[in-house]
Amino acid sequence: MSDALRISGAGRLSQAKSARFTFDGQSYAGIEGDTLASALLANGVHLVGRSFKYHRPRGILSAGAEEPNALVQIVRDDARKTPNVRATVQELYDGLAANSQNRWPSLSFDVGAVNDLASPLFSAGFYYKTFMWPKAAWKSLYEPKIREAAGLGVSPDKPDLDHYSSRYAHCDVLVLGGGAAGIVAALAAAETGVRVILADEQASFGGSLRFESGAKIDGQDGFAWAQVAIAKLSAMDNVRVLPRTTAFGYYAQNFIGLVERVSDHLKAPGHDLPRERLWQVRAKRVVLASGAIERHMVFANNDRPGVMLAGAARTFLNHYGVAVGRNVGVYTANDSAYAAAIDLKKAGVSVAAIVDLRDNPTGPVIDEARALGIEINFGRAVIRAGGKLRVSSMTVQPKNGGGERTIPVDAILMSAGWTPSVHLFSQSRGKVAFNDETKRFVPGTYAQDCVSVGACNGTDGLSASVDEAYAAGAKAAKDAGAKTTNGTKPKVDASESWSRGMLGAAPGAGPDTTVKAFVDFQNDVTAKDIRQAVHEGMRSIEHVKRFTTNGMATDQGKTSNMHGLAIAAETLGKPIPEVGLTTFRAPYTPVTFGAIVSHARGPLFDPTRKTAIHPWAEAQGAVFEDVGQWKRAWYFPKPGENMHAAVDRECVAVRNQAGLFDASTLGKIEVVGPDAAKFMELLYTNPWEKLEPGRCRYGIMLREDGFIYDDGVVGRLAPDRFHVTTTTGGAPRVMNHMEDYLQTEFPHLNVWLTSITEQWAVIAVQGPKSRDIIAPLVEGIDMSDEALPHMSVREGKICGVPTRLFRMSFTGERGFEVNVPADHGQAVWEALWAEGQKHGATAYGTEAMHVLRAEKGYIIVGQDTDGTVTPNDAGLDWAVGKKKTDFVGIRGLKRPDLVAKGRKQLVGLKTKDPKVVLEEGAQIVEDPKQAIPMKMIGHVTSSYWSQNCGRSIALALVAGGRDRMGDTLYVPMPDGVIEVEVTGMVFFDETGGRLNG
């Protein structure tokens, strides 16, 4: 069987290179260079899938990316099962395994095909109309059922084993489409020496030269010329040639997204090869040479396997050497299908008849067909196709009615004409214009620096296309800065030319409403559906499209949009341009998530930031938590300890001996310059001018609206130098906020900001033994309380390396923060750890840090504040410089709402049952017996078990909180109401004596 369909002497594949493949488990022979589609056809297989809605048997319509029917699942292994692959695009490799989709139990007997019989139920707008009532059934019943039945193919359910890569590229001229026009434009541009990228979605360049047997350029067969030209371009240093590469999106300022399919065509892709590569190209000029797509004829049962585009049949014959049938019929409304009939006839295939809807066309191809003895019928229509799993006949009738005649055929080749591919042009925001004479939308008004050439520009004929493309390529290069031109335009010796055709439904497509004449194959939209949409009140093509889903499948209506539009226009009685064309959107063809994600997965999904001390914590078995991009040690469990036990132990040890804490992630900014203090005065609420060098202060930063933005301890190193700390998560935005004011509001200040977050590793040593641990390692700093009181900073050395030693505390204990250059961080930590072991010190993590600070009522910005809390709300009014005349937020603080009574204020909460730990975020009410919805007067912001206090502790924002000291409030929870008492925020060492303890 296969031998007869693979025509000896036809096509360009080498018969010697065989490749075996399977389809639905059955083994077949193909040839290297085949697509899956051509290989199936060579084996006489036309039935390859079932349609989306009616489960009708479907075959192969096209030979390219526009394919709506032949969607298959390619299975490489258990993890790699790619659905919805167009068989016309998938290149064959030895061992390829493909399965049909959307059928059960088998492709030839599919239970879902009952939908076809029930099709009167599934008319346009079916889902909108049917599942309206009862409303509650939508979520529980209809939606799940519809979802189960909907969709094409099955997604792989295992992680993708392939990898994908990405590349930014820049060029002077980007040529999209590698047919004759694209190649010529690329040559013209490349010869000037500018940077050129030429991309085509096919494995081989040539475009329609693959099937145009009549084309001759520079004395060679058209396709052969194309290969020579591509070889020449590939050898040029200034040119990048990308086969198997689809331009899927055209974005602002000539930014184009391309996907290169790198290894889907390989039998065994090497481990290092990505499956696909995403190219993000910025081009000075773009030349669009995307060609044209042939339209089908809209008549009854035009979807039967074996009914296909005439140009596709020609491609299968002239490129792949495959006859799509033994006895074919042709149905056309333009000249191009004649060439298919002629080529097939010459290859020994019987051509039963050509049926031409036109009345009396003339031309050389018609004469040639007639001379070959092919029966030609003018003014007639194919009103229906016969057969089910494969077309068996075509029924012909005069187009204005009359006697029917049924002609047996095993394939019908159809052509309603060619639609210029204006997708990318339209995506570039160019406006298409309708040419009334040729009934085509062609590029009209350009929005970007691009130009269309050849068939996508509505230019007919190879000679005209080559002329246009050469001039456009040279001009694009010149516009992009080329100085020279030294090329020669290729000479077209022979070409084919055709135009015109028809749009909309042919006579065999109704008005009988039981007829299924498909407009959109992939979404099962018929001519009747479009008419019905208009009858039901849809006027705009955008509404018709959404109501019928015409053009909304993954093929985006490449073959169907123009027919759908014409039928709607005809039904509306309006000219086509008045009904409008739907907008083309990216992607041109489906793009894998893998390509879009490319490198950004696994460890490259997002940067994971680790401190210099991280390896030590990891070795100690610390459990880490994510804080923004940082990994921070959360707690350090000893063998057998759970989190609770570890945190309790860490908290107690810090208060009784000492603890070491990695605070390196704190944001740090060095503020330097003669106006440093002035700048600090403006950015923080506190006064800074009088802060002496060597001293520190807790600073609060507001936004202009008066709400707390960030906080941190600031040390003055010198009159003109401050070491500012910020919250871990706030570091980048605080830096941005400070730069913003410095650059745009206070540019007169002589001060500069430098992020030093990562310059310094920070080791907090806290607890009564902290000084004993640090002192032996420090040189040049007097560690006495007199010389180094609480809230001071000194520069000196520790373990022989420079340090900025802060005496400060976020625990309420005597404490220090040892800053050392990051590369020394772990060594200094290890030295301090060794000292600490002599004093019973522990390492503690962020959880213990949180508990210890909450015991002291120290707030955490972003946890106890939420962007609506003022310093007064937080009980930090003391940190606002009362005599200051300006700082960011000073005016905001005076806003009526911010000084009103009853604002939420930060207070402490003690549960009446000390063992009960409140849930953070829990709401607080005055009266738990009130009707629901209750009036909520605040919420819990921080809540912990405090081993040091022997009870639970909590902080909360409560309306008028400071006036409620001692009051009982209630926290209603799903399993009962919790009674709490309002208290001050300090739960431990209220007098603060331990800071010097």
Determine, following the binding rule CB under 8 A, whether residue 630 of this chain makes contact with other proteins.
yes
588-591, long-range: CB within 8 Å, 24+ apart, which pairs? 588/65, 588/246, 588/247, 588/248, 588/249, 588/423, 588/424, 588/427, 588/556, 589/65, 589/201, 589/246, 589/248, 589/554, 589/555, 589/556, 590/84, 590/554, 591/248, 591/257, 591/259
- Measured distance CA(62)–CA(58) in Å, rounded: 12
Among 122, 131, 138, 752, binds other proteins (CB under 8 A): 752
Task: Report yes or no: 767 and 849 within 8 Å, Cβ to Cβ.
Answer: no
| Contacts of other proteins in 325-344 (CB under 8 A) | none
Taking alpha carbons only, the member of 12, 10, 29, 11 closest to residue 20 is: 29
Q: Measured from the CB atom, is 670 or 785 closer to other proteins?
A: 670
Determine, following the binding rule CB under 8 A, whether residue 624 of this chain makes contact with other proteins.
no
Q: Give me the least distance between CB of 822 and other proteins, in Å please.
A: 4
Q: Give me the least distance between CB of 894 and other proteins, in Å please.
A: 8
Determine, following the binding rule CB under 8 A, whether residue 252 of this chain makes contact with other proteins.
yes
| Contacts of other proteins in 123-162 (CB under 8 A) | none
Among 92, 822, 841, 954, binds other proteins (CB under 8 A): 822
Determine, following the binding rule CB under 8 A, whether residue 190 of this chain makes contact with other proteins.
no
Distances (CA, A) of 956 to 304, 679, 878, 904: 71, 33, 20, 9
Determine, following the binding rule CB under 8 A, whether residue 968 of this chain makes contact with other proteins.
no
Q: Measured from the CB atom, is 282 or 962 closer to other proteins?
A: 282
Taking alpha carbons only, the member of 93, 43, 38, 30 closest to residue 70 is: 38
x-marked contacts with other proteins along 77-116 as a string, rule CB under 8 A: ----------------------------------------
Binding footprint of other proteins, residue count (CB under 8 A): 84
- Measured distance CA(874)–CA(864) in Å, rounded: 8
Q: Give me the least distance between CB of 252 and other proteins, in Å please.
A: 5
Q: Give me the least distance between CB of 281 and other proteins, in Å please.
A: 11
Determine, following the binding rule CB under 8 A, whether residue 480 of this chain makes contact with other proteins.
no
x-marked contacts with other proteins along 831-870 as a string, rule CB under 8 A: x---------------------------------------
Which of 144-152, 368-376, 554-562, 609-617 is the region at the interface with other proteins (rule: CB under 8 A)?
Answer: 609-617
Determine, following the binding rule CB under 8 A, whether residue 609 of this chain makes contact with other proteins.
yes
Determine, following the binding rule CB under 8 A, whether residue 483 of this chain makes contact with other proteins.
no
49 residue type, one letter: G
Taking alpha carbons only, the member of 166, 389, 424 closest to residue 279 is: 166
Among 612, 647, 701, 778, binds other proteins (CB under 8 A): 612
Return the structure tokens found at 982: 């309002």
Sign for the CA dihedral angle at 916, 918, 924, 930 comes to: negative
Q: Give me the least distance between CB of 750 and other proteins, in Å please.
A: 6
Beta bridge partners, 300, equal: 384, 517
Determine, following the binding rule CB under 8 A, whether residue 745 of this chain makes contact with other proteins.
yes
Cβ neighbourhood burial of 112 (10 Å; 0-12, 13-18, 19+): middle
Q: Give me the least distance between CB of 612 and other proteins, in Å please.
A: 7
x-marked contacts with other proteins along 8-27 as a string, rule CB under 8 A: --------------------
| Contacts of other proteins in 672-731 (CB under 8 A) | 672-674, 704-705
Task: Report yes or no: 713 and 897 within 8 Å, Cβ to Cβ.
Answer: no
| Contacts of other proteins in 875-934 (CB under 8 A) | 885-886, 890-892, 894-896
Q: How many residues are listed for the chain in this entry?
A: 997
Determine, following the binding rule CB under 8 A, whether residue 795 of this chain makes contact with other proteins.
no
Determine, following the binding rule CB under 8 A, whether residue 592 of this chain makes contact with other proteins.
no
- Measured distance CA(444)–CA(437) in Å, rounded: 15
Which of 14-22, 33-41, 145-153, 818-826 is the region at the interface with other proteins (rule: CB under 8 A)?
Answer: 818-826
**What is the radius of gyration, based on Cα positions, of the chain?**
38
Among 80, 543, 610, 697, binds other proteins (CB under 8 A): 610
Cβ neighbourhood burial of 609 (10 Å; 0-12, 13-18, 19+): middle
Task: Report yes or no: 622 and 636 within 8 Å, Cβ to Cβ.
Answer: yes
- Measured distance CA(43)–CA(38) in Å, rounded: 9
Determine, following the binding rule CB under 8 A, whether residue 801 of this chain makes contact with other proteins.
yes
Q: Give me the least distance between CB of 610 and other proteins, in Å please.
A: 6
Q: Give me the least distance between CB of 893 and other proteins, in Å please.
A: 9
Among 280, 435, 592, 923, binds other proteins (CB under 8 A): 280
Q: Give me the least distance between CB of 413 and other proteins, in Å please.
A: 36
Determine, following the binding rule CB under 8 A, whether residue 240 of this chain makes contact with other proteins.
no
SS3 706: coil
x-marked contacts with other proteins along 194-223 as a string, rule CB under 8 A: -x----------------------------
Q: Measured from the CB atom, is 500 or 804 closer to other proteins?
A: 804
Which of 317-325, 462-470, 511-519, 816-824 is the region at the interface with other proteins (rule: CB under 8 A)?
Answer: 816-824
Which of 115-123, 388-396, 552-560, 669-677 is the region at the interface with other proteins (rule: CB under 8 A)?
Answer: 669-677
x-marked contacts with other proteins along 534-573 as a string, rule CB under 8 A: ----------------------------------------
Among 8, 608, 620, 930, binds other proteins (CB under 8 A): 608
x-marked contacts with other proteins along 434-453 as a string, rule CB under 8 A: ---------xxxxx---x--
Determine, following the binding rule CB under 8 A, whether residue 165 of this chain makes contact with other proteins.
yes
Q: How far is CA 366 from the centre of its chain?
A: 50
Q: Measured from the CB atom, is 338 or 707 closer to other proteins?
A: 707
Q: Give me the least distance between CB of 762 and other proteins, in Å please.
A: 12
Q: How many other CB atoms sit within 10 Å of the CB of residue 739?
A: 13
Query: What b/e readout covers 788-822, taking b as 16+ CB neighbours within 10 angstroms?
Result: beebbbbbeebbeeebbbbbbbbbbbbbbbbbbbb
Among 479, 542, 670, 989, binds other proteins (CB under 8 A): 670
Q: Measured from the CB atom, is 58 or 285 closer to other proteins?
A: 285
x-marked contacts with other proteins along 753-772 as a string, rule CB under 8 A: -xxxxxxx------------
Question: HSE of 865 in the Cβ direction (CA atoms, 13 Å)?
Answer: 27
Task: Report yes or no: 825 and 803 within 8 Å, Cβ to Cβ.
Answer: no
Q: Give me the least distance between CB of 224 and other proteins, in Å please.
A: 29
Task: Report yes or no: 204 and 210 within 8 Å, Cβ to Cβ.
Answer: yes
Dihedral angle, C-alpha 180, 186, 187, 190, nearest 10 °: -170
DSSP 180: H
Taking alpha carbons only, the member of 496, 456, 497 closest to residue 216 is: 496
Q: Measured from the CB atom, is 279 or 970 closer to other proteins?
A: 279
Determine, following the binding rule CB under 8 A, whether residue 167 of this chain makes contact with other proteins.
yes
Q: Measured from the CB atom, is 167 or 539 closer to other proteins?
A: 167
Return the structure tokens found at 777: 């390692």
Instruction: Give Cβ neighbours of residue 266 (< 8 Å, ≥ 6 apart).
Output: 93, 273
Instruction: Give Cβ neighbours of residue 161 (< 8 Å, ≥ 6 apart).
Output: 77, 79, 80
Determine, following the binding rule CB under 8 A, whether residue 949 of this chain makes contact with other proteins.
no
Determine, following the binding rule CB under 8 A, whether residue 234 of this chain makes contact with other proteins.
no
Q: Measured from the CB atom, is 232 or 599 closer to other proteins?
A: 599
